[in-house]
Structure 1
Amino acid sequence: MSDALDRRSRKRLETRRAISWAATGLFAEKGFDNVTIDEIASAADVGRMTVFNHFPRKEDLFFDRDDEIRDTLADALRKRKVADSAIESLRLLAHRLIAEQRPFLQFSEDSQGFIAIINGSETLKARARAIRDEVANGIAGELARGAGLAEPDADADLAAALLVASWSVALTRAHKEYQLTRDPTRAAAMFLELVDRGAIGQKAALAGTPYA
């Protein structure tokens, strides 16, 4: 039974990856708004409903690492060292992700293409804003639960909003740095510098709360 489940899980993951790769290629070639679900299904050699079984919305095909990013942030908060505050644990996470060269925090020609596709689609820009809000809400919930406080907690909401704002500014500026210099090391350093500076402001704003 377990072998059968493992095979089904592997097959499902392979199908998901095939759909994602097909969609990515089409988005890069034609732009997000000019690609249909039927074209993606055909390129991945699957049925239309199979696409929706793996990706409920077309935008989910583009932001296919969204769940990975959310899980990474949540895990950092849940598994942080007792001595590290929530703010400090997420600052350290940024440094670790850069060192590991995680795909969603790389500054490269591929990432420039990713940004260009977003900038060319009002639908994707709206979804990116919604994702930021959802991530902030998720972090706020993790913070409050970790501190044993009832939700919603105003300080947790503030901490999450400040953190997401800092990371958003750091990402935007780092991608611009790469666009100007084509130097991934400088872009990564810019990202970490701004995350570190943002953490200083977060700690000051949240002094006296469980999160600083």
Structure 2
Amino acid sequence: MSTPSDLRSRKRLAMRQGISNAATRLFFERGFDHVTVDEIAAAADVGRMTVFNHFPRKEDMFFDRDEEGREILREALRRRDPGVAPIETLRLLAHRLVAEQSPYVRFSVESQGFIETIEGSETLKARARAIRDEIAQVVTLALTECAGREPADPDACLAADLLLATWAVALIQAHRTFRQKRDAKEAEAAFLAIVDKGSIGLKAAMASTPYA
């Protein structure tokens, strides 16, 4: 009985990816605000309601890796070495993602298209800010879980906000570096340098807590 279920899951994921790919291509070509859901459905060869079954909001098709990114952060803290502090675990995660060429920290011509599409849409910029706040909440909860503290622990809230601010600045600078020099390695180095520097400050701020 598990095989049909797995097959359905694979088909659903394939359809979801196909819709996202079609949407992203149109967004890159024409700008997010100039593409309709009907046009996306036609490009993906599916019905309008099928699009909404997979993506409740149009911007979800653009940020289609959002949930996967959140899970990477959760898993890093869940599976951390007990001898490594949570903040250091997340710093090491940044280095691992770069080494693995994760799409979240990939600096390329394609990623420039992604950034430029966001910059050209107030809707996407607003959603990006909302996602950042939501991820901060995810990190806050993951930190408190691994430290055995209450979900509303102010130290965890502060640590998560500082961490997200650090990574946001690091990503912006890395994309700017790639835009100027067209060198992925230099962009990666810029990203990690800011993450490392921010982690030093974060560890100092959290020195008396279980997070450092």
Q: State the TM-score bracket (shorter-chain normalisation).
A: over 0.9
Q: Partner residue of 1:149?
A: 149
Q: Partner residue of 1:40?
A: 40
Partner SS for 1:162: helix
Segments of 5+ residues of structure 1 without an aligned counterpart are: none
Q: Partner residue of 2:176?
A: 176
Question: CA separation in 1, counterparts of 2:209 and 2:6?
Answer: 45
State the one-letter code of the partner of 1:123: T
| Deviation by residue 1:178-211 (Cα, 9 ceiling, x = unmatched) | 0110000000000001000000000000011010
Question: CA separation in 2, counterparts of 1:33 and 1:137?
Answer: 28
Q: Partner residue of 2:7?
A: 7
Question: CA separation in 1, counterparts of 2:14 and 2:87?
Answer: 36
Partner SS for 2:192: helix
Offset, 1:3: 1.1
Equivalent pairs counted in the alignment come to 212
State the one-letter code of the partner of 2:108: S
Offset, 1:123: 0.3
Offset, 1:103: 1.2
Question: CA separation in 2, counterparts of 1:139 and 1:152?
Answer: 12
Partner SS for 2:210: coil
Question: CA separation in 2, counterparts of 1:17 and 1:107?
Answer: 22
| Deviation by residue 1:2-43 (Cα, 9 ceiling, x = unmatched) | 111111011101100110110011001110000011111111
Question: CA separation in 2, counterparts of 1:13 and 1:151?
Answer: 32
Offset, 1:68: 1.1
State the one-letter code of the partner of 2:186: R
Offset, 1:146: 1.4
Q: What is the alpha-carbon root mean square deviation over aligned residues?
A: 0.6
State the one-letter code of the partner of 2:158: L
| Deviation by residue 1:48-86 (Cα, 9 ceiling, x = unmatched) | 111111111111000011111100011001100011111
Q: Partner residue of 1:62?
A: 62
Offset, 1:147: 1.2
Give the alignment's TM-score, normalised by structure 2. 0.99
State the one-letter code of the partner of 2:71: D
| Deviation by residue 1:96-116 (Cα, 9 ceiling, x = unmatched) | 000000112100000111000
| Deviation by residue 1:122-178 (Cα, 9 ceiling, x = unmatched) | 000000000000000110011112111112000000000010000000000000000
Question: CA separation in 2, counterparts of 1:120 and 1:83?
Answer: 44
Partner SS for 2:64: coil
Q: Partner residue of 1:198?
A: 198
Question: CA separation in 2, counterparts of 1:52 and 1:78?
Answer: 32
Segments of 5+ residues of structure 2 without an aligned counterpart are: none
Alignment of 1:80-99 (within 5 A): 80-99=80-99
Moved over 6 A (4+): none
Give the alignment's TM-score, normalised by structure 1. 0.99
Question: CA separation in 2, counterparts of 1:50 and 1:43?
Answer: 13
